[in-house]
Chains A and B, each alone.
Chain A
Amino acid sequence: MALDRSVSRRRLLQFAGGAVAAGTLAACGGGGGSSSSGGTLKVVGVGDQEAGLRKLLDAYKTAHSGFDFNLSFAPADQVQTALRTQLGGGNAPDMHVVYPGNGSAMSMAQLAKAGLLADLSGQSWTQKIPSGFKGAFQSDGKTYIYSPGSSMLGAIYNKKAFATAGVQPPTTWSELLEVCDKLKKKGIVPIALGAQTPWVTQLIDYALVPGTVYAKTPDFDDKMAAGTASFADSGWADAMTKYLDLQKRGFFNDNPNGTTYEQATSMVATGKAAMAVQVSAVLSAFRAAATSPDDLSMFPFPSTDVVADNWIPAGVVVGIAVSAKSKKLDQAKSFLDYCGRQENLNTWAEAVSCVPLYGDAKVDPALTSFLPALKANKAVPFMDQRWPNAEVQPTHFAVVQELLGGKTSVQDALKKMDTAYKKGA
């Protein structure tokens, strides 16, 4: 009964909204426009997407006289509130940010299951999605999201700070500890950590886990899904212990739980800190905060002393999708078809410092050191993209903050993640 009432309410409100809109148009003496052509496409993205998305929207507008767009951005931590409310209320923008794979309330799989995304499978670029990435783009065999490529996760470092301490990017865990030690002795914070910003808390684990878990158990995600593996009894424990070891050795800034992402960015950009474990998509933000953008580069963050085991995390970057209920479905799909052309894909990928989804385009020089691992098939998608529900990731954020605050143990933290994982889809 309650369900029927709420549907009726929505219809009533839609009707009321329609009546108001019709009244407004009549009052203005205007007529209704075509629903599928002309008009302004409403687009909502997140900040990390701006450089690439705006560039392509501008280029598309120049090439298509009837096309216009209204682009706005939601902060990453508010996307789930702002956009989900619009989606739930039936007034979603024509195109909006969506996270690849599964694992968050705004992920492709979750929204596709709810029937809120338009199927893009008919577009030619979707045939070029590498097989290893299909899980990030597809649900039930249909493609629902466009993304320009994959972001590398590693250490963004300040070359001047490294030069001051006379150190080079490390290739093993032991070398990393030595480098941090030398930096610390020079009075430079080795690793800036802004763990007050929840999504930042996960990055060091994500950098370590490819080596401590996936290099030995490449099918770890399948085993987790089958219930034959757990976080607590896996290399996740090794990764989290190493994460805490970095804190115990004093290699982070003081009070990481009270430090924000922005403060950590500023510390590295100004050379107060030497590095921060981050995704390449934010390189532009670090460069913008630096005196000279060339001071900054990236290297893979080593997790073991066996160089061959140091796999890298490489996740499909945050993408964009078309709302299934958009009244400008054709226009929005045409734009994404345009984004899928090789030259346009390259433009967007270059703007957000990611490796293009397909083709052999030039990549940001800062990412050069990641390419051998990528070519050797030693890259692992960001872990949350295959987690079964939207609860595991925020649980991970919280337990890392508890670990850094000395309020829990590695085993208890991982057990909480296992409990969240077992809640299923």
Chain B
Amino acid sequence: MTATVAAARQDAARRTRRRRHSGIVPPWWFAVPAVLVYAVVVLYPSIAGAGSAFTNWSGIGAARSFVGVDNFKQLVQDNQALGALRNTLLLTVAIVVVQNGLGLLLALGVHTGIKSKMLLRLVFFAPVVVSPVMVSFLWKYVYNPAPDAGLNAALGAVGLGGLRQDWLGNPSLALWSVAFTVIWQCAGYSMVIFLAGLEGVPAELHESAMVDGAGTIARFRHITWPLLAPAVTINVMLSTVGGLTLFTQIIAMTNGGPGYATDTLSTVLYKQAFVYGKFGYSTAVALVLAIFVAAVSFVQIGYLRSRETNA
């Protein structure tokens, strides 16, 4: 069976090579306008702004002076930032594991021959296209702590009143409540990427495996899962970066609270710049976050790509 999968891979690689040599690969200068716009709007301001990380600028007015690496020294001793780093990592792990697991299950579920599969795909994908701010406000209603409102009311109605919680107000629970909202919204996105992967799995492989007597689990393990490797790479990368930079839902739902229970590195850098008036320090946090995200992404992509090759 592994040999069949390898043959399918070689076939796909041959098709790609053929496309490249047929001259339909667009010339590089097609990308120049986009690269220029990106450089002017994103790259230059980012690089120029990074200089602020070495100053004590408040974000307004001209007064600022060079403070060297003081902001970075402060960062490693900042309990709020270290707590936020812990929250960020916990959120990222939860999002990467649960969102992608759920996305895969949904994709497998709707990748069947049932008549309503298009409708189901639409339903599961719908939250992705809604603005994260709107989703957050919607879920704030769902998480209303009153016993007769939202999720608590639903739990009461089905005889699970004992499970009622102060979903966003309990410091031990708030982080997971926000994580659930993000997962609810983004699982459809993972589903679509997995669906694209599933569409690329040749039906004849499954057919021949069935002839060989392979069951559903064996076929998933030896055919579907290895061929889904590129989709796994994309999903894991996107959800990791999304988790590490999570901001909108937290600001809209809890503002980092109660206390500091849901602060992430993104909310800390936002608060330092706009609430505490420490733009220089905020930029230092942003710089460290950017380097951290880049490093994690490189390590991840290296590992996942090697897994794709070995699969």
B169 in contact with A114 (CB, 8 Å): no
A80 in contact with B258 (CB, 8 Å): no
A5 in contact with B276 (CB, 8 Å): no
> A303: shortest Cβ distance to chain B, in Å?
24
Known: A1-B51, A2-B51, A258-B166. A113 touches B61 (CB 8 A): yes
Checking A6, A114, A408 against B259 with a beta-carbon cut-off of 8 angstroms, the contacting residue is: A408
Which chain A positions have C-beta within 8 A of B275? Answer: 80, 105, 390, 394
> A415: shortest Cβ distance to chain B, in Å?
12
B51 in contact with A258 (CB, 8 Å): no
Which chain B positions have C-beta within 8 A of A399? Answer: 259
Which chain B positions have C-beta within 8 A of A391? Answer: 276
Separation of A1 and B48 alpha carbons in the complex (Å): 10
Task: Determine if B52 is an interface residue (Cβ-Cβ < 8 Å).
Answer: yes
B61 in contact with A390 (CB, 8 Å): no
A259 in contact with B60 (CB, 8 Å): no
Checking A7, A88, A255, A397 against B60 with a beta-carbon cut-off of 8 angstroms, the contacting residue is: A88
B277 in contact with A198 (CB, 8 Å): no
**Which residues of B251-274 are within 8 A (CB) of A?**
254-261, 270-271, 274
- Nearest B residue to A400 via CB reads B259
A87 in contact with B60 (CB, 8 Å): yes
Known: A105-B276, A258-B167, A258-B169. A77 touches B255 (CB 8 A): yes
A407 in contact with B259 (CB, 8 Å): yes
A257 in contact with B258 (CB, 8 Å): yes
Please classify the interface of chain A as helix (H, G, I), strand (E, B), loop, or mixed, using the class held by over half of its residues.
helix
**Which residues of A76-113 are within 8 A (CB) of B?**
77, 80-81, 84-85, 87-88, 105, 110-111, 113
A405 in contact with B62 (CB, 8 Å): no
A84 in contact with B145 (CB, 8 Å): no
Separation of A399 and B258 alpha carbons in the complex (Å): 9
A5 in contact with B59 (CB, 8 Å): no
A5 in contact with B48 (CB, 8 Å): yes
Which chain B positions have C-beta within 8 A of A408? Answer: 259
Checking B52, B167, B170, B274 against A81 with a beta-carbon cut-off of 8 angstroms, the contacting residue is: B274
Which chain A positions have C-beta within 8 A of B100? Answer: none
Which chain B positions have C-beta within 8 A of A198? Answer: 255, 257
A257 in contact with B170 (CB, 8 Å): yes
> A158: shortest Cβ distance to chain B, in Å?
19
Separation of A193 and B275 alpha carbons in the complex (Å): 23
Task: Determine if B54 is an interface residue (Cβ-Cβ < 8 Å).
Answer: yes
Task: Determine if B168 is an interface residue (Cβ-Cβ < 8 Å).
Answer: yes
Task: Determine if A3 is an interface residue (Cβ-Cβ < 8 Å).
Answer: yes
Task: Determine if B130 is an interface residue (Cβ-Cβ < 8 Å).
Answer: no
Which chain A positions have C-beta within 8 A of B147? Answer: 254
- Nearest B residue to A107 via CB reads B277
A254 in contact with B145 (CB, 8 Å): yes
Task: Determine if B64 is an interface residue (Cβ-Cβ < 8 Å).
Answer: yes
B274 in contact with A6 (CB, 8 Å): no
- Nearest A residue to B279 via CB reads A88
Task: Determine if B58 is an interface residue (Cβ-Cβ < 8 Å).
Answer: yes
**Which residues of A1-56 are within 8 A (CB) of B?**
1-3, 5-7, 9
Separation of A258 and B62 alpha carbons in the complex (Å): 40
Task: Determine if B143 is an interface residue (Cβ-Cβ < 8 Å).
Answer: yes
Q: Contact flags (1/0) for A106-144 with B, using CB distance below 8 Å?
A: 000011011110000000000000000000000000000
Separation of A196 and B146 alpha carbons in the complex (Å): 13
B276 in contact with A389 (CB, 8 Å): yes
Task: Determine if B55 is an interface residue (Cβ-Cβ < 8 Å).
Answer: yes
Separation of A311 and B60 alpha carbons in the complex (Å): 37
B255 in contact with A407 (CB, 8 Å): no
Known: A80-B274, A105-B276, A390-B276. A404 touches B145 (CB 8 A): no
Q: Contact flags (1/0) for B129-146 with A, using CB distance below 8 Å?
A: 000000000000001111
B59 in contact with A398 (CB, 8 Å): no
Known: A3-B55, A3-B64, A5-B51. A402 touches B277 (CB 8 A): no
Known: A1-B51, A407-B171. A398 touches B61 (CB 8 A): no
Which chain A positions have C-beta within 8 A of B203? Answer: none
A405 in contact with B261 (CB, 8 Å): yes
A257 in contact with B169 (CB, 8 Å): yes
Which chain B positions have C-beta within 8 A of A389? Answer: 276-277
Task: Determine if B63 is an interface residue (Cβ-Cβ < 8 Å).
Answer: yes
Q: Which of B55, B270, B275 has the most CB of A within 10 A?
A: B275
Separation of A342 and B123 alpha carbons in the complex (Å): 61
Separation of A255 and B145 alpha carbons in the complex (Å): 6
Separation of A101 and B272 alpha carbons in the complex (Å): 20
Separation of A406 and B166 alpha carbons in the complex (Å): 13
Known: A80-B275, A254-B145, A405-B258. A116 touches B61 (CB 8 A): yes
Separation of A216 and B59 alpha carbons in the complex (Å): 39
Q: Contact flags (1/0) for A329-340 with B, using CB distance below 8 Å?
A: 000000000000
Known: A110-B277, A255-B145. A6 touches B51 (CB 8 A): yes
Q: Top 5 nearest A-B pairs by Cβ distance?
A: A2-B51, A114-B61, A258-B169, A257-B169, A402-B259
What are 13 pairs between A and B in contact, CB < 8 Å? A2-B50, A3-B55, A80-B274, A87-B60, A88-B60, A113-B63, A196-B169, A196-B257, A196-B258, A254-B145, A258-B169, A390-B277, A399-B259
Please list the residues of chain A having a beta carbon within 8 angstroms of any beta carbon in chain B: 1-3, 5-7, 9, 77, 80-81, 84-85, 87-88, 105, 110-111, 113-116, 195-196, 198, 254-259, 389-391, 394, 397-399, 401-402, 404-408
A2-B51, A394-B276, A407-B171 given. 10 additional CB < 8 A pairs? A1-B51, A6-B48, A80-B274, A84-B277, A113-B61, A116-B60, A196-B254, A256-B169, A258-B144, A402-B261
